[in-house]
Amino acid sequence: YVLLATATEKIKAGKNFDFDDGPSLRGIIIDLVEGLKIACYGILVSMVALMANLLPLIGQIVALLLYTYCFAIMFVDYPASRRRWSLSKKIGWVKRHHGLSFRLGLLPALLSEQWRQDASPEYYRQGYMETGGGPTVRIRLVGELAYLTIKSPLTTIARREYEYTIPIDDGTEMLDNLCGNIICKRRYHITYGGMIWSVDEFYEDNAGLIVAEIELESEEQTFPAPPWLGREVTRDARYGLKKETKQNTTHGKEMVGDMNTKQKWSIKDAAELYGVKRWGAGYFSIDPSGDAVVTPFGSDHGPRISLYQVAREIEERGFSMPVLLRIENILGSQIKLLHETFRKVIKETGYQGQYKGVYPIKVNQQEQVVEAITQFGREYTHGLEAGSKSELIAAISMLKNKEACLICNGYKDEEFIDIGLYAISMGFNLFFVVEVPGEVELIIERSKELGVTPNLGLRIKLSTQAEGKWSHSGGDSSVFGLGMSHIVEVIDKLKQEEMLGCLKLLHYHIGSQIPNIRDIRAGAMEACRIYEELINEGAPMGYLDLGGGLAVDYDGSQTDYHSSRNYSMEEYCWDVVESVISVLDRNAIPHPTLITESGRATVAYYSLLLFNVLEASSFLPPPVPEKLPETKTDLLENLMETYSMISAKNIQECLNDVLFYKSQARQFFKHRQINLRERALAENLVQHILIRLTQVAKKMKHAPRDMVHINKLIRDIYYGNFSLFQSLPDVWAIDQILPVMPLHRLDEQPTHPAVISDITCDCDGKIDTFPSSYEENKSIFLHDLKEDEEYYLGVFLVGAYQETLGDLHNLFGDTNVISIQVDREGGYKFIREVEGDSVADVLNIVEYDVRAMKNRLRKLAEDAIEKGGVGNVVAKKCAQQAKLFSDITLASRTLSKCDEIAGEIKKQYGITVATEEIDADRVDHLIHLMEKVRPELVINVALPYQDLSIMDACLATGTHYLDTANYEPPGSAHFEYSHQWAYQEKFHQRELMALLGCGFDPGVTNVFCAYAQKHLFDQIETIDILDCNGGDHGHPFATNFNPEINIREVTQTVRHWKDGEWISTPAILHDDARHFTFNYPEVGEKESYLLYHEEMESLVRHIPGLKQIRFWMTFSQPYITHLKVLDNVGMTRIDEVDFEGQKIVPLRFLKALLPDPGSLGTNYTGKTVIGCVIKGKKDGKPCGKYIYNICDHAEAYTEVQSQAVSYTTGVPAMIGAMLMVQNIWQGAGVFNMEQLDPDPFMEALNHNGLPWKIVDFPGKLF
């Protein structure tokens, strides 16, 4: 017992009993005397317990309690202590801490200490000043800090609090001289379920008591309870202010409890957390095993089916997730509920008409939905509404009961009207609802032609405007419906044609998903007045169609929020019927047949999306270490200090500090001042600080704005196997809130606040708003993922609009669709199984020829990086700077070509270059590769079409970016920087640098201009960029870089800048193209053609006062002739054409036939000359300069096995990267080359194979 008690005290009580007397003779005598007393007390207790034990069960329980009480006193006095307490004092301590004493006495070695594992303590000493029952004044010492806190009296579980930092000396003096009831405790901050718990462990008179508290935004907020939490004592006066050690520290709800009694999670907690009872409408709940279940006949009727088991069986039947699950019985239950509720209300109110429901096909047009509704609705004469010819034909073919109403809304042409008239002649109860006056004449004309009397209705435009997302559907500005003057016009026309007797129905629609019952009532009453006037005009009438609007309580809040409703089905029916009665009974107007087009409420519940979670990315960091490792910097100490000093008073300071230290950690790591483990620890501390900052901000009335962005970081990301745009389009398009809940493990407590991302590469493809009873939740609590077990989630109430509106974003096709029907005995059967779209199906939908694509893809894979080209040059030039670029990874769609280049680098320079296969069109693939490699910088020499996807991946991974050419949309030959300039704010916020156009032109030519502006001119007025390739590759026709890009570039309309505007001139193939002869250094005279090039766009933006800028490129006459022929026969087209049943792009076909640019270097002779002729003023005088570079094809090939065009592009890319890595060029945002200091770049050109010259150019260019 002594061993157990000693271990328990050291583990459990810690220093609670450290305040003991020192050893003395008197103490030993007291020990002996008190030991004798306890022995006698124990004998007495044993005698009573033995006698009580002779009684039945009650006596045995009494005996157990007595022994436990005795053991508790023994614990307080166990021999290892130096405690000098009398027996009465020990008994008093046990009484004050009876709960703790009971457990310590009964199970001293089996007490949970789980909560301590993730906590590090702060030491508090505090006391209270007497205020005569008014506000509470507290003095608290925490380390070297002191705080003065003033709190209002506690009313419910909320209060106001004001806290101030005071000098430590003043705080100590005030605590010692002015305060009574001094309290000493140790406080732990424990993060659980994304929230921070404060756990206080007390000393001295309250030793042994441990209390936990949590601060929430409101008294109604729910939270996950940690497994170590005990009973709640929030309202227990014994734990109130100054009664003991627990102190209320904020104006918020606080959960306090004994930390050693485990509070078990239950399915009731799960139901409350996910709100299933609020939004499930009796169809969905949780069974004792923790599975989500469906009760398709309603909560009080029929069997409960496990959705988890259904999902498992679906996969066993060979269908993979995601799956759209349809439960057809729910359709029948909703139709029954709607009709029987109306019947009940009609009977109780004495209403003289009847009710006929109508289902608008547009809400869910799927055949099985319409078929099931007509089948279930047959006995209730439940009808259909059609808004197009296709829907009308479907309705006529599906409707099972001809007495049911068939409502025709929408635009009606002659064919639509004829179909409807034929349906009337076949006995259908069909109504043409007139939307615009012109429809009446056409209906009259066609009815006379076919000899069929139509049933007419009017859609009216009410002044009533409902609340919610669809408020624009009603009101005076509504697009659809007849105004008062139009109604009169239609009545007069019908009277003129003696067809007023055909007018039988009045229809209105003030919006879908109407959340407020007041609007429904107001609309019905306004419509009834018009109905009354139509009767007075002589129309027989008889039907009042209230349209849609019956809402679904998606979030379960039962409020007038747009995703909810503040009424029940019964209240809806009562208000509709009573409104009609209240208006029409005044003038004894006969009660009409009531029609509602309640589509959403009919079908929403019957469908849910099932999917599995693929993986999760956790935000919660490991525990804060008790001791920091020794490092070369003070980074970790600074972070720990920031963590310990967070309060409402300095939250902005702490936020600024942590963001600074976060950036500093990255810089320290880059410059090898900290190692990997130290950076990881720094990031963990940053996460802990962000969590605590978030908790503090929630308590503040006016938190810093920056915290809004921080709050969104404190969430895990669970990646679901589905496409939001295909399966849940309303979540993306209109921010629809849909309930989400795990299908199983609901008897386990979820601990991870999370958002759910789909598998598209779109940042909008996520669910980050979830139902709540009082506000929108920005996260949902989910469970840990188990290694060998799928984790299934369900998105509920998706039956309305989602299936047909879903699109092919990212070419994700339809999911598998499974329909089940449940029988009354608790079994279910699969009645429909529809396989989702395959990849080939989706490609065919968007008009791809799959067979042709296979061949095309094979070819694309072969020439993905132009066999060396610019990527080859960049890789080899970086390898020459191995001390700077210590780790190089070359990635491309074609791994074999990367391996070939890497092998050449290994052979030439002895440097190992890593290679990876990558699809640069896939952002998710790029992110995965960057997270694997963790580069400081990505040098993008891929196709211009891929710039944005690579920039997105850099943003996601915190990687700097550099490219050599601006983004070009694949479908148009249009070069401009607007697409990439739009990323300025994103890169700035992430503190990342994106360098655009770091080739030669654009690139070096931009730097030439910046250098001239800095050193050679006071004012630049004109710039002419001249690009000459004076080489010979030995082929009749070939391009020097990617043929597709090159030909698109040179065949587009030419533009140049002059006097503040862009001037367009004919392309080079046109006879009127502008060109002139220029004598290029070391090359001679070449014909130079005016082109548009992207660097002109940025130079106009960044060179102030520029009057004119032009770009010229040399072309030989054979090149122009070849290109004209190809253009004339359509081979330069970039759109698809049909060829023998296959779709091909002529320019891509031509590319496959032309020589590979990477192969031209072998026999390439001659030189390139690229430079700028710049005119302006220096010292008030005209000035002209020509800055240029000459590069030899043969010399370039000797060095890096590439021709000079690739060389002049690749070398500048390496230099730009070098300056970025060295932090010579640095900044946050998107930059063009001329925005940066040109001097280091110009110097590097001379040392890396591209020397430049400057000569005077006094004359006129052209």
Retrieve residue 532's tokens: 């009354």
Tokens 């001390």 locate to: 883
Please give the Cα distance from 768 to 806 (Å, whole number): 19
Please give the Cα distance from 1195 to 1189 (Å, whole number): 14
Please give the Cα distance from 682 to 638 (Å, whole number): 10
Residues 912 and 936: beta-carbon distance below 8 Å: no
Strands 993-996 and 960-963: parallel
Q: Which residues of 1206-1228 are buried (b: 16+ CB within 10 A; e: fewer)?
A: bbbbbbbbbbbbbbbbeeebebe
Residue in 1068, 1001, 1058 with CA at minimum distance from that of residue 1232: 1001
Tell me the C-alpha to C-alpha distance, in Å, between residue 310 and each of 307, 720, 722, 738, 792: 5, 18, 18, 21, 11
Q: Which of 761, 998, 1009, 1183 is catalytic?
A: 761
Strands across the sheet with 121-129, in order?
Answer: 161-166, 145-151, 136-142, 121-129, 180-192, 195-202, 210-214
Instruction: Report CA 709 to chain centroid distance, whole Å.
Output: 13
Please give the Cα distance from 223 to 214 (Å, whole number): 9
Q: Which residues of 947-984 are buried (b: 16+ CB within 10 A; e: fewer)?
A: bbbbbbbbbbbebbbbbbbbbbeeeebebebebbbebe
End-to-end CA distance of the chain, in Å? Answer: 105
Please give the Cα distance from 593 to 641 (Å, whole number): 74
Please give the Cα distance from 878 to 883 (Å, whole number): 10
761 carries an active-site annotation: yes
Please give the Cα distance from 891 to 894 (Å, whole number): 8
Residues 1147 and 1047: beta-carbon distance below 8 Å: yes
**42, amino acid identity:** G
User: What is the crossing angle of helices 1204-1221 and 1193-1200, to 10°?
Assistant: 60
Please give the Cα distance from 436 to 4 (Å, whole number): 89
Please give the Cα distance from 815 to 806 (Å, whole number): 10
Question: DSSP secondary-structure letter at 232?
Answer: -
Q: Please give the backbone phi and psi of residue 359, each rounded to the nearest 5 degrees, phi first.
A: -105, 120
Q: Which residues of 903-916 are buried (b: 16+ CB within 10 A; e: fewer)?
A: ebbeeeeebebebe
Strands 543-545 and 503-507: parallel
User: What is the crossing angle of helices 414-425 and 389-398, to 10°?
Assistant: 10
Question: What proportions of the chain, in percent to the nearest 5, are helix, strand and coil?
Answer: 40, 20, 40
Instruction: Report CA 960 to chain centroid distance, whole Å.
Output: 23
**1249, amino acid identity:** G
Output the CA torsion sign for 6, 11, 13, 16: positive
Retrieve residue 600's tokens: 């959403």
Residues 551 and 605: beta-carbon distance below 8 Å: no
Please give the Cα distance from 148 to 1032 (Å, whole number): 84
- Catalytic machinery residues: 761
